[in-house]
């Protein structure tokens, strides 16, 4: 039989109580701590002030969390009008997806509230103007495309534009020069192109025009490869009966839709910011800009449907 003196027994109890106290006091999953900081801040956790760090252990814990987050901040720019249900699904989905990759991000919905035809490119240009000072890269992201493969990386596209919804993986568009749906660019490369043309009203072709801007600026396009999820790499939550596309083409638009627009870009855009809101959808903070686009009818008379 092993005999323990009363003093030894007392010391043993104290040591065990201290151990139990420290085990329960620490967050069992350090990633959770980093995530919740990021949610509150919306931006890169490196900007989080370090407060009340009176214990060395806690300071180390925070520094570790910060250092394994991606060093760049991504603006997720969503061109938007009348897609409430899709946004309810998209915002929490992309927020979780990017948090899993430890990408500091800000979700920005640019909501077109005027009565002109939808202008995806101009809304993306506004998203750029609103985020360029706080983010160093952006992804123009359709609200109805949900990344469905964890190997799709939303990392900083240093070398050139990175087309995530590539023709090899997009559920619907498979032509070689397609760059729509989900496309990432650094702020620098976006500036080189002057963003997108503002002359496209109605569905489509603004992305094809951006492709011509890449070529003109000698920007190399990159895409993911080797994914095994094929056309299911993204979920396309698009009900074509409820969300019909505005394919109509009027007059000159039939011709200009295939041409490079040398005159317009984010620097020529005219719009009014009617209001600004921050919503939280589940855990996801969403910045909404309600905007009215200006249409110069002498230049793009097709911005409204003819009666
Ligand atoms: N969009 C929108 N409201 C519209 C038309 C388009 O919000 O009335 C946005 C939305 O983000 C959508 C994207 O523009 O995902 C592309 O439009 P759509 O899905 O109709 O085109 P597709 O790529 O499916 O042909
Ligand atoms: Mn769609």
User: Which region among 58-67, 118-127, 147-156, 208-217 has the lowest average model confidence (pLDDT)?
Assistant: 58-67
Tell me what the mean pLDDT of segment 221-241 comes to: 98
Mean pLDDT for the chain overall: 85
- The CA 18 to ligand 2 mean position distance, Å, reads 57
pLDDT at 217 over 60: yes
235 CA to centre of ligand 2 in angstroms = 10
Query: 73 or 54: which carries more pLDDT confidence?
Result: 73
Residue 134 Cα to ligand 1 midpoint, Å, equals 26
Q: Is the CB of 81 under 6 A from ligand 1?
A: yes
pLDDT in tens, 42-69: 333 332 333 333 344 444 445 556 679 9
Q: Whose CA is nearest to atom 1 of ligand 1?
A: 80
pTM of the model as a whole: 0.81
Q: What confidence score (pLDDT) does residue 8 get? A: 67
User: Quick one: pLDDT at residue 47?
Assistant: 28
| Structural domains present in the chain | 6-64 (no CATH), 74-303 (3.90.550.10)
Mean pLDDT of 31-38: 29
**What are all long-range contacts of 170-179, with beta carbons under 8 Å and residues at least 24 apart?**
170/145, 170/231, 170/233, 170/234, 171/231, 171/232, 171/234, 171/235, 171/236, 172/236, 177/208, 177/211, 178/207, 178/208, 179/207, 179/208, 179/210, 179/211, 179/214, 179/221
Q: Residues 139-158: what's their mean pLDDT?
A: 98
Checking if the pLDDT of 156 tops 70, the result is: yes
pLDDT at 79 over 90: yes
């Amino acid at each position: 039989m092993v005999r323990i003196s009363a003093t030894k027994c007392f010391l043993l109890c104290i040591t065990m109580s201290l151990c139990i106290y420290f085990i329960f006091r620490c967050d069992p999953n350090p990633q959770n701590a980093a995530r919740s900081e990021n949610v509150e801040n919306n931006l890169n956790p490196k900007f989080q002030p370090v407060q009340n760090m009176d214990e060395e252990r806690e300071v180390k814990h925070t520094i570790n969390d910060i250092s394994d987050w991606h060093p760049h901040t991504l603006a997720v720019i969503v061109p938007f009008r009348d897609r409430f249900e899709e946004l309810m699904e998209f915002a929490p989905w992309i927020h979780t997806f990017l948090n899993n990759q430890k990408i500091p991000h800000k979700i920005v919905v640019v909501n077109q509230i005027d009565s002109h035809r939808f202008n995806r490119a101009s809304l993306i240009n506004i998203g750029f103007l609103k985020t360029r000072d706080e983010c160093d890269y952006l992804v123009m992201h359709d609200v109805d495309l949900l990344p469905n493969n964890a190997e799709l990386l939303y990392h900083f596209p240093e070398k050139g534009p990175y087309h995530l919804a590539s023709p090899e993986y997009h559920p619907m568009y498979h032509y070689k020069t397609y760059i729509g749906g989900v496309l990432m660019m650094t702020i620098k490369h976006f500036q080189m192109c002057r963003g997108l043309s503002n002359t496209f009203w109605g569905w489509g072709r603004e992305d094809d025009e951006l492709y011509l801007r890449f070529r003109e600026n000698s920007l190399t396009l990159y895409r993911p490869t080797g994914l095994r999820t094929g056309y299911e790499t993204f979920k396309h939550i698009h009900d074509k009966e409820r969300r019909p596309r505005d394919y109509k083409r009027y007059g000159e638009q039939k011709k200009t839709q295939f041409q490079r627009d040398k005159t317009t870009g984010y620097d020529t855009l005219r719009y009014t910011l009617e209001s600004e809101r921050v919503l939280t959808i589940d855990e996801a903070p969403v910045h909404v800009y309600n905007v009215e686009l200006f249409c110069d009818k002498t230049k793009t008379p097709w911005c409204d449907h003819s009666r």
